[in-house]
Each structure stands twice: as structure tokens, then as C-alpha cells.
Amino acid sequence: MKFGNCVQTALFSLWVHKLRSFLTALGLIIGVAAVVLVVALGTGARLKVAREIASVGSNLLLILPGATTTGGLRMGLGTAPTLTVGDARAIAREIPYVKAVAPVWGDVAQVIYGPRNWSTIVRGTTPAYQEVRHIELVSGRFFTAREGRRAAKVAVLGQTVKSRLFGARDPVGAVIRIKKQPFVVIGLMAPKGRTFGGRDQDDVVLVPLETAQRRLFGTRLPGVVKYILVAATGPDTLKPAEEEIDRHEASVKTISWLLWAIASVSLVVGGIGIMNIMLVSVTERTREIGLRMAVGARRRDILMQFLTEAVVLSLAGGLIGMGLGVAAAQILARLMDWPVVTSYLVGLLALLISGAVGVFFGFFPAHQASRLNPIDTLRYE
């Protein structure tokens, strides 16, 4: 029997029993969809982690002050006013592998422009913050050390704050109010997106450190800062950053392996389903097999016919599963704001897996059909 005739016969047989064919391929559909989803989400997760690390800085170190004790209760890390601007200067001066240091002091405040207002983080810092956090500007400029020394009322906006207050227009040159005080917008930062934990890095206003300390939030002690950001000369000199990266990567790998396990089980279940239904089909079509042999069909023709049916069924399930996997990945990407990466290689991999499952689990039923005795098959009721 020619291969084209085998495919035509297989398609006709599967179409006659449409519901049974669909239920048989359902496990394989789920398995292939899971494979596509695993690859898309896993690649997207690595991309998201890489973007977050790049936006924060792979050589970044956060220095927090110690903890205080109030009424016998030890408060959280960062509650003791032990870090100062002097500490930041000493770190920059005395530690050779440090590239830039930026002390930070700030709080949440209401920002107003005309009839619009928005509650955001107002962060006081130094010009070194731009280098430490790899900040790019789409318009305007960053504030200078001289503006910091005189506590100038100037501000650099994040994209979220700009959208809430100004819409599509460029805010540079406009006057906003922070805690009822006028500030001139001198710069607009390029978008950074959300962190791995979901925090919006663009929902921020940057002002000079001295401005935040003297004019906006005040300080209990002169020169005290909430934390200090340190940029090392390279990732190799900053082991804590590497450990944090490893922690994120370990989480992504754990999730990926779990999804791969689910996908593998689904593929095995789908393959077993194909084998069982094909065995039932062999039993139901025993007289048909006998008639084919009586008119000249060889054993290898019978083997090829049933094996083709199994492969066609598995490939059809693979195509449907691939479509469902891509659709599910796109839906999750929109709902969770999560990047997904799909490619033709993933689709080819899914089809190869489904075809291999069809051959592996379809061979035994096909072999059983080809070994039937022609005389016994003609007598079968």
C-alpha cells in the first residue's frame, strides 16, 4: 500500500470516529500545550529576570542601617538612624573597588500639577544616583552637585508620574508642587518597568538630597540617610548581588522543572491513551483486517496502516496542543504582564515530540494487527 493511501485511509477512519479520536488525543493535546507553555514562560522568566537585573544594576549593593529596640521590641532592619552622608563619602573615598555611592533620603508625598495629583515616592539623592542606577533621560537633565548644596527645588520625574500628571506632553520646564512647595521639572527618566516583585520603578520623583532633608521631610539628626546605594567596579566584586541573582534563577529553574514534569506526564498519558484506543480499534476491525489480507494485503501493509493512523492522530493532537499552548502563553502574558517568547523551533519540537509519541505507542497495536491470522480474522464475529 502506498503511503498516500495509508494517510487517506487513516484520515477517513479517524473522521468516522471524530469524538473518540478527539478524546484519544486529548492527553497528547494537553501535553504538547504544556511543553509550549513551559518553553514560552521559562524563556520569558529568564528574560524578565535579566531585564530587572539590568535595570537595577548587576553590581549594586544596598547598605541599610541597623535596627532599634522600642519598649522591649526589636524593630525592623533600617530603623536605626546610623547611616549618614559622611558614611557615604567615606565608602567612596576608602574602598578601592567602589565606583559610585549614592545616599538616599525620602518618603511618600503628594505631587500636584494643575488639577491633577498623584501620590508617589519622592527620593532625595545625589547626582551619583544616575550612575549607580543606570538612569537614562529622554528629555532634560539631571540635577547637579551645586543644586544639591543650595537645596534647589528641582525634580526629575519617572514615566508613571509623568503620565499621571502630564499625559503625553513633555513635563520639562513645568512647575509642580510637592508638599505645597513649587518644584521645577528639569528632567524625565527613560522607562525602567517593574521589578521581579511587581514594584513600579517609574513611579518616583528624584530631588537633591539636601532638598529632601531640609525642605520636604526633615531629619532628626543632621546628615542622616535612610540607605546608601553602592556601585562596585564590576559584578565579580559584589558577591551579595550574585547570590540574589542565583536565588532568582533557582526559583525560575524550579518552576520550569515542575512544568516539564507535568508536561512529560501528560505526554505519557496521551501516548497510553493512543495505544489503548488503537488496540480497541484492532479488535473492532478484525474482519476488515482479514478481508484486506484475503485480497492481497501484506503484513507490512497492515502494520503501516495502523501505525499511520497513530501518527496522524498524534500529529493532529500536537498541532492543536501547539495552538492552545501559544494562545495560553499570550493570555498569561497580558493578564500577568509577563514576557513570553515563542518561536518556530518550539512548534517544530512539539510536532516532533507528538510524532515520536505516535510511533512509540502506536507500534505495538499496529504490530498486533499485522500478526493476526487471516483465517481466524475472517471467522471473527
Decide: 180 and 142 in contact? Cβ < 8 Å: no
State residue 244's pLDDT score: 44
Long-range contacts of 218-221 (CB under 8 A, 24+ apart): 219/105, 220/81, 221/81, 221/84
Decide: 353 and 30 in contact? Cβ < 8 Å: no
State residue 70's pLDDT score: 33
Our measurement of the distance from residue 156's CA atom to the centroid of its chain's CA atoms, rounded to an integer in Å, reads 30
State residue 53's pLDDT score: 47
**Cα angle for residues 275, 277, 283 (degrees, 5° grid):** 105
Decide: 111 and 165 in contact? Cβ < 8 Å: yes
State residue 163's pLDDT score: 95
Our measurement of the distance from residue 350's CA atom to the centroid of its chain's CA atoms, rounded to an integer in Å, reads 21
State residue 359's pLDDT score: 75
187 to 138, 157, 174, 207, 276: CA distances (angstroms): 8, 6, 10, 11, 68
Judged on CB neighbours under 10 Å (0-12, 13-18, 19+), 345 is exposed
The pTM assigned to this predicted structure is 0.51
23 to 29, 142, 240, 256, 364: CA distances (angstroms): 10, 63, 52, 27, 20
State residue 343's pLDDT score: 64
State residue 72's pLDDT score: 35
Cβ neighbours, 10 Å, residue 372: 17
- Helix, coil or strand: residue 82: coil
The pLDDT tens digits along the chain (381 residues) read 566 666 776 677 777 777 777 777 787 787 778 777 777 776 776 666 555 545 555 577 777 775 433 333 333 444 455 688 888 888 788 777 778 899 999 999 999 999 999 999 999 999 999 998 889 999 999 999 999 999 999 999 999 999 999 998 999 999 999 999 999 999 999 998 877 667 889 999 999 999 999 999 887 677 889 888 888 776 665 554 345 434 545 555 565 576 667 666 767 777 777 777 777 777 666 666 667 776 666 777 777 777 777 788 888 888 888 888 888 888 877 776 666 766 667 667 777 777 777 777 777 777 676 676 665 555 555
Our measurement of the distance from residue 88's CA atom to the centroid of its chain's CA atoms, rounded to an integer in Å, reads 35
Cα 215 from Cα 211, distance rounded (Å): 5
State residue 275's pLDDT score: 77
